[in-house]
Amino acid sequence: MRLWNRIRFFSARERLDRELADEILAHREMLEERYTREGMTPREAREAAVRQFGSDLSSREQSREEWGFGWLDTVLRDCGFAVRLIRHRPMLTLAAVLTVGLGVGANTAVVSVLQTVLLNPLGLRDSGKVLVATVRLEQLQMRQTPTSGVEFRELSTMTDAFSAVAASEGRTWTILTSGEASRLVGRAVTPDFFRVFGERPRAGRFFTPEDRESVVLSHGLWKAQFGGEDTVIGRVMMLDGQPHRIVGVAPASFRFPVDAQAWTPLVLSPARLRERGNNMNLAIFARLKEGVTPAQAEDRVNRYVAALKSPVDGEARAMAKMGYFVDLEPFAGHVAGDLRRPLWLLWASALAVLFNGCATVAALLLSRVAGRKREMAIRLSLGATRLQILRQLLVESLLLGALGGAFGVLVAAGALSLLTRVSIPGRRLLELVTLDSQLMLYGLALALASGLVFGLAPAVQLLRESQSEAIRRGARHGFQNLFVTAQVAAALMLLVGTGLLLRSFWALQQVRPGFDPAHVGTAYFIKPKDDPGFITRLETRLASSPGVQSSALAFPLPFTSGGLTSRFRIKGRERKSGEPEWHGEAYFVSSGYFPTLRIPLVRGRGISPSDEAQAPVICVIDTNFAERFFPGRDPIGQEIAMYRGWARIEGVVGAIRASTLEKATRPVVYYPLVQVPFFPQAAALVRSNQPAGGLIREAVRQTSASTPVFDERDMEDRISESLGIRRVVAVLVCTFGVICLLLATVGLHGVVAQVVSDRTPEIGLRMALGARPEQILAQFLRRGLVYGGIGIVVGLAGASYAQRWLSGMLYEVKPSDPLTFYSASAGVLLILVLAVLWPARRASRIDPQSVLRYE
């Protein structure tokens, strides 16, 4: 009954409200009539009736609370009121919505990336239990290298630590789809691979140890190539022309490795399971046994490594001497790789922006406190409770927050679509980042929390001021000063970070890689099997293609996977005892390589067309190699053995930076491509003044129709991609920093302007008594700068604490680089002076006469 009435009343509340108003009016008129009858004048009667009746509004409000769902009704009413206020102050609303929107948008975007890349990598189920094993060779400064068979064998036996261990190795296959050759990327995996990740097949089954010529399809490939039909199980698929039976389909949620389209069984021969420090191509994934912590597992692996030093196994001892370790890394870290640190940094910066935004909006709202005091005083005297007013004010700021949040979600969606297009290593990973409903909720919650944060201080202050006789402006300014100081500090910290990142970025751009990447187009292709003449034919065809100045074939390309690190020997020389094994990086190139990339020849000759497959094996070394292994000697004519036995060194070329711009590449050995035909793929390089896109593809197609071409990119793009993450981080941190500085400027300006307007009478009086404008100006300048200055000091302290987060991302700049610290502080100070000068000048120009007259 009661509930039903409530619903009825609530749904008819507008009509009821009108009726109630009528009823009260009638009541009042009857009172008036009575008073008139009793002998009052009509005017006296009306006044008496109003007195007797009390506040018409408050009685209606309280009556309304009786029906209706109290809270819902009041919230709706508060919202309506807030909407009116917000519409009447469009600039303030715009500022608040933009500020909150940018902060929330930046945060939501960064958190979406964090979610996919770090927090819940690739959306895999309990990936927290998966560890990745890598090899570290201290003496060679090699870290996180893939492993050999022996590590897989050893980890597999540690059943006390791991419940499943799997190895995987990269594979690419050529497949024919409707007559067109294309390349399929996948992995060969040991049977437990899917069990490590706790996955179940979408259809069919995963591998058993008996599987040989089988294949498991990724969900994407299954949909794209087989229309997502279950009948695909048991069918045969041709990989590299070999029949493979399709035994299963992986679930859509399983997207690891990100580029994998199919998996085949990896069968490791007994010989390979014994190999150590050679053939290091395996990625090992281990699932922690129930109840075993990562630290315990690490301990177990370290015990194994320590045991190697005992004099049982000669080869193992040699490895131990090279500083051999097996590292276990959480799966999340393995996936995120180099993105990890930049992401956390961006997250912190985005939070700083949001925080600064809140502080600015709070300062803006605080500066309105003076203006709204009257309104609040009236409402309080009309019978509103403090709680009601507080609620009303909070609803206003929450509404601002919600609007900002809605805008922020749009910002985040826009930012993500930009981010996923950015060219950086790990781009494929970023393609998986989406803004799901959960993250949108996070963004909105963040916005509402911001609304609460920036609404509370002004609301509390407003209530205090409205309620007390003596106006407590001091406290208001206290709030504002605190905000401004914190804002300046945060802005300075971000700017110092920006400065350091930008300086590193510039320094890196100054680095010359030692070759000329301009106007060089590149693309990889798969070498057709059983076609030994292909390389030579392709070389000829490329060279005669229209517009080509020079061309070459090579494997691998600079700035892709890096050269092949290989052991070698030098004829007639033994390693000194204790000297680590000799390693160099091998590249396999055609005769056009050095001219095409304009790598200077230092001594001897380059690779010539006469270095054919059957000719004696030769090699060319770079200056790094010559200086390291043949100091003060002529390396020409020396022989080294790395691939295919002894090879005579015929020339020395300039060293280039081939994997990153940051570091010099290790000593490099170049072999003629045709003399070491072990690799299934190679790349073509073309120097041409015309766009090379399509040129290589066309030449390859004409040479052999069934050869897939992939990864077509200009050399310059490859280099800039290696800088991509730096650029993204530098640009974003810089943007965040500038936004923060802008917000801090607005905040400081607002505070000083407020103080000036509050104290206008006092200033007028002082000027009337003979104070000079300069004195007034200096007074306000000093006041603003004290808080700005405190902010700068706090910011510098914060920056010198936080710079350690940057250390890994800097290049030839110390994290404590004084130039950056000084110039960032100076810049902030300058802008603060300008922000303060504006209102301070207004104060110094106050006309004492007009002020006194106004008083």
Partner 1 sequence: MATNKTPEFLPGTLDMLILKTLTRASNHGYGIAQYIQKVSNEALRIGEGSLYPALQRLLVNGWVEAEWGISETGRRVRIYRLTAGGRKQLAREVAEFDYLIAGIARVMEGA
Q: Virtual CA dihedral for 83, 89, 90, 91, nearest 10 degrees?
A: -140
Q: b/e for 81-120, b at 16 or more Cβ within 10 A?
A: ebeebbeeeeebbebbbbbbbbbbbbbbbbbbbbbbbbee
Min CB(373)–partner 1 separation in Å: 21
CA-based R_g, the chain, Å: 37
Structure tokens at 489: 């500090």
Min CB(386)–partner 1 separation in Å: 11
Min CB(63)–partner 1 separation in Å: 5
Which of 567, 551, 550 minimizes the C-alpha distance to 682? Answer: 551
Closer Cβ to partner 1, 2 or 853, answer by number: 2
Closer Cβ to partner 1, 15 or 472, answer by number: 15
The letter for the amino acid at 216 is V
Min CB(381)–partner 1 separation in Å: 11
Backbone angles phi, psi at 419, to 5 degrees: -60, -40
Closer Cβ to partner 1, 25 or 518, answer by number: 25
Closer Cβ to partner 1, 14 or 290, answer by number: 14
Min CB(377)–partner 1 separation in Å: 16
**β-bridge pairing 618-622 and 639-641:** unpaired
Min CB(27)–partner 1 separation in Å: 5
Closer Cβ to partner 1, 33 or 698, answer by number: 33
Closer Cβ to partner 1, 27 or 340, answer by number: 27
Min CB(6)–partner 1 separation in Å: 6
Min CB(396)–partner 1 separation in Å: 22
Min CB(469)–partner 1 separation in Å: 21
Min CB(68)–partner 1 separation in Å: 9
DSSP string, 465-509: HHH-SS--HHHHHHHHHHHHHHHHHHHHHHHHHHHHHHHHHHHHH
Min CB(374)–partner 1 separation in Å: 21
Min CB(22)–partner 1 separation in Å: 8
Closer Cβ to partner 1, 21 or 518, answer by number: 21
CA distance 664 to 126: 39
CA distance 695 to 716: 17
Min CB(29)–partner 1 separation in Å: 7
Closer Cβ to partner 1, 5 or 11, answer by number: 5
- Provide the CB-side half-sphere exposure for 466 (13 A, CA): 24
How many other C-beta atoms are found inside a 10 Å radius of the C-beta of residue 752? 27
**β-bridge pairing 214-217 and 262-265:** antiparallel
Question: Counting every residue, how long is the chain?
Answer: 855
Sign of the Cα pseudo-torsion (32, 37, 43, 48, in order): negative
Q: Residue holding tokens 């067109």? A: 180
Backbone angles phi, psi at 283, to 5 degrees: -100, 130
Which of 441, 451, 450 minimizes the C-alpha distance to 395? Answer: 451
Backbone angles phi, psi at 587, to 5 degrees: -125, 145
Min CB(66)–partner 1 separation in Å: 4
Closer Cβ to partner 1, 20 or 475, answer by number: 20
Residues that bind partner 1 (CB under 8 A): 1-2, 5-6, 9, 19-20, 22-24, 26-27, 29-31, 33, 52-55, 58-60, 62-67, 383, 385
Closer Cβ to partner 1, 276 or 379, answer by number: 379
DSSP-H helix ranges across 283-339:
294-307, 314-321, 331-336
Closer Cβ to partner 1, 33 or 160, answer by number: 33
Closer Cβ to partner 1, 5 or 849, answer by number: 5
Q: Are 524 and 557 a contacting pair, CB within 8 Å?
A: yes
Q: Are 816 and 506 a contacting pair, CB within 8 Å?
A: no
C-alpha distances in angstroms, 591 versus 147, 247, 540, 671, 854? 33, 45, 12, 10, 91
The letter for the amino acid at 289 is K
Region of 240 (left: φ > 0; alpha: ψ -120 to 50; beta: rest) is left
Min CB(23)–partner 1 separation in Å: 5
| 3-state DSSP of 102-132 | HHHHHHHHHHHHHHHHHHCHHHCCCHHHEEE
Closer Cβ to partner 1, 51 or 853, answer by number: 51
C-alpha distances in angstroms, 710 versus 652, 681, 693? 31, 10, 12
Structure tokens at 579: 């000297």
Closer Cβ to partner 1, 24 or 742, answer by number: 24
DSSP-H helix ranges across 382-421:
386-419
Closer Cβ to partner 1, 64 or 334, answer by number: 64
